[in-house]
Amino acid sequence: MADTTATRAKVRWGLLDVAVVVFALTPVLWIMSLSFKTPATLTDGKFIPREWTLENYRTIFATDQFVRALINSIGIALIATTIAVVLGAMAAYAISRLDFPGKRLLIGVSLLIAMFPQVSLVSPLFEIERQLGLFDTWPGLILPYITFALPLAIYTLSAFFKQIPWDLEKAAKMDGATQGQAFRRVIAPLAAPGLFTTAILVFIFCWNDFLFAISLTSTERSRTVPVALSFFTGASQFEDPTGAICAAAVVITVPIILFVLFFQRRIVSGLTSGAVKG
Amino acid sequence: MADIVLDKVSKKFPDGTTAVRDVDLEIADGEFVILVGPSGCGKSTTLNMIAGLEDISSGELRIGGQRVNDKAPRDRDIAMVFQSYALYPNMTVRENMAFPLRLAKLDKETINQKVDQAAKVLELTPLLDRKPANLSGGQRQRVAMGRAIVRQPKAFLMDEPLSNLDAKLRVQMRTVVSRLQKQLGTTTVYVTHDQTEAMTLGDRVVIMRGGAVQQVGPPQELYDHPNNLFVAGFIGSPSMNFLTAKVEEGTLRTALGDVPIGDRIRRELEGADAPRELILGIRPEHFEDAELVDDDTRRRGMEFTAPVDIVESMGSDKYVYLSVEGERATSAELEELAADAGAADFSGAGSNLVTRLSAESTVTEGEDRRVWFNLEKIHLFDPSDGRNLTLHEGRAAGTFAD
Amino acid sequence: MSVNSTPAGADVAADGTDTRNGGHAAVPAQRNNRRGKPPLSENKRAERRLGWLLCAPAAFVMLAVTAYPILYSVWLSLQRYDLRFPAEREFIGLQNYATVLSNEFWWTAFGVTMLITVVTVAVELVLGMGLALIMHRTLVGRGIVRTSALIPYGIVTVVAAFSWRYAWTPGTGYLANLFADSAPLTERASSLAIIMLAEIWKTTPFMALLLMAGLALVPEDLLKAASTDGATAWQRFTKVMLPVMKPAILVALLFRTLDAFRVFDNIYVLTSGANETSSVSMIAYNNLIRGLNLGIGSTMSVLIFITVAIIAFVFVKLFGTAAPGSDDGERR
């Protein structure tokens, strides 16, 4: 009796799970499917390719346009992530551990920036970067990425830092450590998992951006993949860019899927801890 | 090694609350001093101020004769053991214990030698390569101790180091701590809220309440000659019985009968502003089954009859709960003690008397029993300020004495 | 662990500095007490210095890349400044604002943005709550559900947008073929519906994760107590879970509303703003990068900024949220 109700509950949850999985994965599987289709079968409307081909991937990796954009994407996202996490960790440590005037102001400012409409920055940054010679360069994108990633980094990291037992820092001080040593030798190793999680979240954010990338770049020099994708459409060297776009789309989706597969637990805890406690 | 002197040390928080008020304390070199009191009494704040983890608002703190008020913890050369042990989870036992030495930039060989030596003393040698997560509570506690002793500091500070252990282990570790302290002869300040720990461990005990020191002295002295109601009620388990006593016609009217008073107490009570109502305190072990008292002893006390509520046989003796008439003694101190015990709003079975009688007593539940108590050991307190009236030149000698 | 005693002590210290700065005059006795010796010990001053030092770089970057440009943007918005005709640059006061605010396209875009924001956030709240419950309580395959729910969150919006675009392209798409002989992305209503679908798909998981954090705060014993008290599943949800989750819900709503208001990527890829499907971000971008009209583009930037500020303000005033971190240091 109890057994059957338990089974029924499991089946019900199972069906809901399946619904979620299907809903979440269909668009991803669809674009993967398109990327493996041959030009002839591309427009057949079938969800599963009838003929499989790697031609689309070969095409995009043969073009400078895509390879260059991929390098830009990776380089810009990695640099921005590193800087944002380092600066964010410093600020988050101060916020969660130290007492100093201006702390609330900093928290308030980062909250404001988290809510800031990015498009409002596009026109002034466009003009400022043109004047400073940053337009269409890596730093030109890295700067706004760091700025908008910082609130995320600060919130997530402060939440992680707060979970580190406070006594440890006191103990380190009693053991003869300066505040700086207490940070480097005791807190930092404990904070490493939090730093890593934050880095993933920040990387996803930078990797994702489209608005800044399309507004603050004009050539292949610093165009990232999302932007390059949108330019495939008009490019004439492809007869039909759909296959190429899909292949490129799949390529930049791979790291995300890897992150999600391997670090699901961390990402969830990072997002939720930052959201509730931060 | 060094002495520690607190000279009118206070801690005021900027919101106006005073956590510690004018604490004067001289801790001799090598002495083991216990700070004890209910939660919020300021004992941990005092310890943190000695450690340098909290600022001193006013007063002076000297370690080894040197003023250290503005010195960072690292410059005070003292080690601390935390309630949570505060072991670095990312380091092995060896690394944990070596950490202070590495910060002091000692060379590798010396570090290893010192760590091995400390590990041997605390029987941690087989655990040196483990991480704290893989240790039991008692082992962690020992590592925390090891980390403190390894650098041979001027003083040890211990913040309720045993309170996270289970009862049996706590008793065992108590002896370890005590032996270690004697062996090393290092000045030690130990904070606890457990009066048993305070009584068993220290050379001297400092009882604190509301940020102020109530009494300082060797455990037995605090037990026998409490300064005031708070100290009397805080020390001892089961705690002292308190009854109201009215001053009438040269005697004390109490629920146990009229208690005679000696000349000195009488003189004290003759003043115009002398209290008319007092609190009588009797420790459980100063009662005895009247049948078991010999004549000589009988003369030193008095007897009363009361119905027996509950008998708890402990083997070595019997705890007998008696119901007595009369109102419960009240005062700010007693309420605070009850609140600390968590019984502030739960009075239980009414005004019961806890007595500790010999195991040979044939007392049974439900009967009326004749019970004797020792008049030389009773205390009288002024309910308004808690002062012990029976105390004369630091000694308490009952109400009887001249 | 002395979770009890130490953080409490830290709290006092943290509150302390604030009162010390603000309420000094109110406590003269204390000031007297401090006179004649350094007001802060070496320790305390070192702590402050380190705090400022650690925060300075982050604060500097954030302010330099937002505060200065937004002020610059206000200044630009007061000028006629078209990069195609740089010679005509001049100060024209609020004329750009008059132009934009009397422009029909702006108001259409504004309406579209509002519609998208309201519809998507409402739908996401419901779906997100369902997804949060599934992720939190499911008996089977919790890991799989969480992992797949994270994919929409993590995926590049442009990629997802292309997927939806091809799905609805007649001939190519599996979805378009379900509705014979139509081209949904060429009609306004269906275009907007698809944009909203894409938005909802992409951001529901984020909403769900925020809500799940709230769900985790609901004590299991509370639910057990409620069910022994005779509450039905629905009553447990509305009477026990929702009240506890309220702060998390408000935070999620605030963040998602402001995020939805910025909608750009999906529209860019799906319709490029054709058939009056532009959002305010889209129209500002078009004026700036395609039209190279910095004056008008900046005006729109400022207007969007003001709108977002109003939305945030209303949220904070109405629901008293803003709590995400505004009292961060002191709360625990």
pLDDT digit string, tens, across residues A82-96: 999 999 999 998 888
| Chain C touched by A3 (CB under 8 Å) | no
| Chain C touched by B72 (CB under 8 Å) | yes
Comparing B181 with C19, the larger pLDDT belongs to B181
| Phi then psi dihedrals of residue C37, to 5 deg | -130, 165
Q: How confident is the model at residue C222 (pLDDT cuts 50, 70, 90)?
A: confident
Q: Which of C15, C27, C42 sits opposite B70 (nearest CB)?
A: C42
Q: Are C90 and C222 in contact (CB under 8 A)?
A: no
Q: Are C257 and C204 in contact (CB under 8 A)?
A: no
Instruction: Return the sign of the alpha-carbon dihedral for residues B252, B253, B258, B259.
Output: negative
Q: Which of B39-53, C39-53, C81-95 has the lowest mean pLDDT?
A: C39-53
Residue closest to C131 by CA, chosen among C210, C196, C230, C78? C210
The pLDDT value recorded for residue B30 is 92
Q: Which of B51, B89, B103 sits opposite A190 (nearest CB)?
A: B89
The pLDDT value recorded for residue B355 is 92
Q: Which of C42, C44, C49, C50 best probes binding to B when mutated, by most B CB atoms within 10 angstroms?
A: C42
Q: At CA A63, angle to CA A57 and CA A67, rounded to 5? A: 80
Q: At CA B156, angle to CA B151 and CA B159, rounded to 5? A: 125
DSSP sequence for B48-91: HHHHTSS--SEEEEEETTEE-TT--GGGTTEEEE-TT----TTS
Instruction: Return the sign of the alpha-carbon dihedral for residues C56, C58, C60, C66.
Output: negative
| 3-class state of residue B346 by DSSP | coil
Q: How many Cβ atoms sit within 10 Å of the Cβ of residue A178?
A: 17
Q: How many Å apart are CA A235 and CA A240, to the nearest integer?
A: 9
Which residues are bridge partners to B9 per DSSP?
B23
- Yes or no, beta carbons of B88 and A170 under 8 Å apart: no
Q: How many Å apart are CA A126 and CA B168, to the nearest integer?
A: 71
Residue closest to B329 by CA, chosen among B386, B377, B395, B249? B386
Q: Are B305 and B370 in contact (CB under 8 A)?
A: yes
Q: Tell me the C-alpha to C-alpha distance, in Å, between residue C75 and each of B100, C270, C308.
A: 57, 33, 19
Q: How confident is the model at residue A99 (pLDDT cuts 50, 70, 90)?
A: confident
Segment (H or E) for B187: strand B187-192
Q: How many Å apart are CA B55 and CA B13, to the nearest integer?
A: 10
To 10 degrees, what angle do helices A225-232 and A242-276 make?
150
Which tens digits make up the pLDDT trace of A125-138? Answer: 888 898 899 999 99
Q: Which of A101, A110, A166 sits opposite C6 (nearest CB)?
A: A166
The pLDDT value recorded for residue C24 is 37
Strands (E), chain C: 79-80, 90-91
Q: Return per-residue pLDDT of chain B as tens, 402 residues.
A: 689 999 999 998 877 788 999 999 999 999 999 999 988 899 999 999 999 888 899 999 999 999 999 888 888 889 999 888 888 888 899 999 999 998 888 999 999 999 999 999 899 999 999 999 899 999 999 999 999 999 889 999 999 999 888 888 999 899 989 999 999 999 999 999 888 899 999 899 999 999 999 999 999 999 999 999 999 989 888 889 988 888 887 788 888 888 888 888 888 777 767 777 888 899 999 999 999 999 888 888 899 999 998 999 989 999 999 988 777 777 888 888 877 776 655 554 455 889 999 999 999 998 999 999 998 888 989 888 888 888 877 677 676 655
For residue C8, is pLDDT > 50?
no
Q: Which 157-216 residues of chain C touch chain B by CB within 8 A?
A: none
Q: ipTM of this model?
A: 0.88
The pLDDT value recorded for residue A239 is 59
Q: Which chains touch A (3 or more CB pairs under 8 A)?
A: B, C
For residue C12, is pLDDT > 60?
no
Residue closest to B159 by CA, chosen among C10, C1, C11, C14? C1
Q: How many Cβ atoms sit within 10 Å of the Cβ of residue B272?
A: 4
What is the share, in percent, of chain C residues with pLDDT greater than 90? Answer: 25
DSSP sequence for B216-252: EE-HHHHHHS-SBHHHHHHSSSSPPEEEEEEEETTEE
Q: Which 80-99 residues of chain A touch chain C by CB within 8 A?
A: 87-88, 90-91, 93-96, 98-99
The encoded tokens of residue C300 equal: 């729109």
The pLDDT value recorded for residue A174 is 87
Q: Are B218 and B63 in contact (CB under 8 A)?
A: no
Q: Strands B18-27 and B352-358: what pairing?
A: unpaired
The encoded tokens of residue C197 equal: 């679908």
Contacts across the A-C interface (CB distance below 8 Å): 350
User: Residues, chain C, total?
Assistant: 332
Q: Are B381 and B281 in contact (CB under 8 A)?
A: yes
The encoded tokens of residue A31 equal: 């674009």
A62-277 has which CATH code?
1.10.3720.10
The pLDDT value recorded for residue B90 is 85
End-to-end CA separation in angstroms for chain B: 46
Q: Which of A167, A173, A190 sits opposite B74 (nearest CB)?
A: A173
Segment (H or E) for B396: strand B395-396
Q: Is A257 exposed, middle or buried (0-12, 13-18, 19+ CB in 10 A)?
A: middle
Contacts across the B-C interface (CB distance below 8 Å): 53
For residue C45, is pLDDT > 90?
no
Distance of CA B362 to the CA centre of its chain: 34
Segment (H or E) for A110: helix A103-114
Q: How many Å apart are CA B164 and CA B178, to the nearest integer?
A: 18
Q: Name, in order, each residue with C-beta under 8 angstroms of B389's C-beta and a sequence gap of 6 or more.
A: B265, B268, B269, B278, B379, B380, B381, B382
Which residues are bridge partners to B302 per DSSP?
B373
Residue closest to B356 by CA, chosen among B344, B368, B372? B372
Which tens digits make up the pLDDT trace of C273-329? Answer: 888 889 999 999 988 888 888 888 889 989 999 999 898 888 878 776 444 443 333
Q: Which residues in B lie closer than 8 A to residue A189 (C-beta atoms)?
A: 90
| Phi then psi dihedrals of residue C66, to 5 deg | -120, -55
The pLDDT value recorded for residue C19 is 36
| 3-class state of residue C292 by DSSP | coil
The encoded tokens of residue B245 equal: 């006593």
For residue C194, is pLDDT > 70?
yes
Q: At CA C69, angle to CA C66 and CA C74, rounded to 5? A: 120
For residue A236, is pLDDT > 60?
no
Q: Average pLDDT of chain A? A: 86
Q: Are A136 and A221 in contact (CB under 8 A)?
A: yes
Q: Strands B32-36 and B204-209: what pairing?
A: parallel
Q: Are B222 and B231 in contact (CB under 8 A)?
A: yes
Spell out the domain ranges in chain A: 1-53, 62-277
The encoded tokens of residue A181 equal: 């040593």
The encoded tokens of residue A234 equal: 């008009």
- The two counts, helices (H) then strands (E), for chain C are 16, 2
- The two counts, helices (H) then strands (E), for chain B are 11, 22
Q: How many Å apart are CA C203 and CA C184, to the nearest integer?
A: 22
Q: Which chains touch B (3 or more CB pairs under 8 A)?
A: A, C
- Yes or no, beta carbons of B72 and A173 under 8 Å apart: yes
Q: Average pLDDT of chain C? A: 79
Region of residue B211 (left: phi > 0; alpha: psi -120 to 50; beta: else): left
Domains of chain C (ranges plus CATH)? 1-39 (no CATH), 96-331 (1.10.3720.10)
| Chain A touched by B401 (CB under 8 Å) | no
The pLDDT value recorded for residue A234 is 44
| Chain C touched by B22 (CB under 8 Å) | no
Sole residue written with tokens 């005004």: B351
Q: How many Å apart are CA B339 and CA B347, to the nearest integer?
A: 11
Q: Tell me the C-alpha to C-alpha distance, in Å, between residue C132 and each of A154, A259, A268, B313, C204.
A: 25, 21, 12, 57, 10
Q: How far is A192 from chain C (nearest CA, A)?
A: 18
For residue C16, is pLDDT > 70?
no
Instruction: Spell out the long-range contacts of C44-47 with Cβ–Cβ below 8 A and sequence spacing 24 or more.
Output: C44/B55, C46/A179, C46/B72, C47/A98, C47/A99, C47/A100, C47/A179
Q: Tell me the C-alpha to C-alpha distance, in Å, between residue A277 and each of A161, B84, C84, C210, C214.
A: 11, 24, 49, 11, 10
